[in-house]
Amino acid sequence: MRIGSLEFPVPVFLAPMAGVTDTPYRILAREMGCPLVYSEMVSDKGINYRNEHTLKMLHTEELERPMAMQLFGAEPDSVAKAAQYIQSLNCADILDFNMGCPAPKVVKNHEGSAMLLDPERAFRVLKALVGAVSMPVTVKMRIGWDKDHINVLEMAKLAEEAGVQAVAVHGRTREQFYRDRADWQIIRQVREKLRIPVIANGDIRNVEDLIKIREVTGCEAVMVGRAAQGNPWIFRQLTHYLRTGEILPGPTMEERKEIIIRHLDMLLKFKGDYVGPREMRKHATWYTRGIKGNAELRVQFNKAENRDDFLRILEKMK
């Protein structure tokens, strides 16, 4: 699969996830073989008003490249201006536009998945975005607002007409959030209608799901979201399968421990001694899902305040 000048022989991508896909996690995913990682969504207004927290989100490292910076907004001029600023920083290789976030605080401002309710506005935003930058532009969207307003075919076609170079489709409506099964059949319809690449997203948890979603949708490229939380190894497994046909085992206990410390050390480096350990709590809980005693581990991780606390907890893991 190709996006602009970028070629992806094994297109298994890390989906953008707020509070998850920051620089440390993107680096870990890249090290596990993920060929393209997406940032957390970044506000156009935050960029244009030079909000300190937002500008920190634009920082990237060479180890995570190539990567896509995901932008959200609702006004063509504002989105275009923010995109130009991102391009000026040379901090990303692709610009992605968010038309899928279901969060109430986002959709109340006509942003995220609320854009699906206003095709004309969405087209103007995407057209302005494509025209504002020379880097490739992609878009991620849901299949519609609710079961009575499933318009992904129309929206994806508008995105293509606006000059977008790839469309990622999450097979759920905004109303579903993350409930029920993702609709892979409608993703196939999108793929059959567009000339540009379509990236299938939703319910890819293992190699078996990868095989099925590629068969059902006809999409070469897939995007993994929640299944990657606490599980960067999924990219090693999926990309290895696509290259060799072999299914690798999951991580050992020692690998889990090593990655928790590596992740923590990067959070300490990039976010400091106070924020780093507190953000690591949720990640450590995800890393230890499914192992014996994980409920007690969750309690302990949620009390950890520094690196030594995490080390003491990990020493007891068996």
Positions marked catalytic? 101
Longest dimension (CA), the chain: 57
Rounded Cα distance, 239 and 247, in Å: 10
Closest CA to 142 of 120, 115, 169, 179: 169
Q: Are 171 and 182 in contact (CB under 8 A)?
A: yes
If residue 41 lies in a helix (H) or strand (E), which one and from where to where?
Answer: strand 37-43
Find the distance separating the first CA and the last CA of the chain, reported in whole Å: 41
Closest CA to 149 of 105, 197, 117: 117
Which residues lie closer than 8 Å to 184 by C-beta, 6 or more apart? 171, 200, 202, 203, 212, 213, 216, 217
User: In 3-state terms, what secondary structure has residue 90?
Assistant: coil
Structure tokens at 33: 């073989």
Rounded Cα distance, 263 and 23, in Å: 10
Rounded Cα distance, 245 and 14, in Å: 21
Rounded Cα distance, 286 and 72, in Å: 27
